[in-house]
Amino acid sequence: MENFLFAIQQLLSPNEIEPGFIQKIVTVQNLPKNSFFIREGQICQRVAFVESGMLRHFYNTEEKNEVTRWISLKNTFSTSFASFVQQIPSHENIQAIKDSVLVTMHKKDFQLLYNNYPLFKEFWIKNLELLYVGMEERVFSLIALPAEQRYQLLSKTYPAFIKEVPLKYIASMLGIEPRHLSRIRKI
């Protein structure tokens, strides 16, 4: 929980919040490999900070079975965003692809921070801006770029993915088969 607390303490000065308040509203969750944070059809009630491990966001499709949308790495936030914000059933699954430790916060506590602490709200909005830009770039690359350029863009923009994420998930994110990704990586 140290990484999460450090990130939050950078946002909230000691004068703004009572000592120990954050520890009271978060829960540390050990999520073993292959366990789910949320499954398709459930309503997401929590946001998670990945203290360690890795989470895969994926959709079940008829054509390709599972399609990986994103991987949440250590020191990033993760949630089924549309479900969390709108309180509707999730279209995605979020699953640990290695043993993970999450610091989770329930929606009501998240709203409390968001509504009462301007620096937390500003932090969340900045994160959303960056996520939206990243999503827009990914959509553009999937629509407009050949596979080789999509891989180059991913490796330039998110080098940790190339080092840490299993290739089958990277291939799925790029919309290509793993054997095609292997050929691209050799070039």
Provide the CATH number for the domain around residue 66: 2.60.120.10
Is residue 134 assigned to a domain? no
**Who's near 91: CB < 8 A, 6+ residues apart?**
40, 59, 80, 82, 83
The sign of the torsion formed by the CA atoms of 137, 141, 142, 144 equals positive
Mean pLDDT, the chain, as a whole number? Answer: 91
**Would you say residue 156 lies in a domain?**
no
Residue 181 contacts residue 171 (beta carbons within 8 Å):
yes
- Does the residue 7 lie in any domain? yes
The answer on pLDDT for 174 being more than 90 is yes
Q: What is the pLDDT of residues 74-109, one digit of tens each?
A: 999 999 999 999 999 999 999 999 999 999 999 999
Report the C-alpha gap between 104 and 177 in whole angstroms.
34
Is residue 144 domain-resident? no
Best CA proximity match to 113, nearest among 49, 39, 31, 41: 49
Q: How many domains does the chain have?
A: 1
Tokens 């990704």 -> residue:
181
Does a structural domain hold residue 95? yes
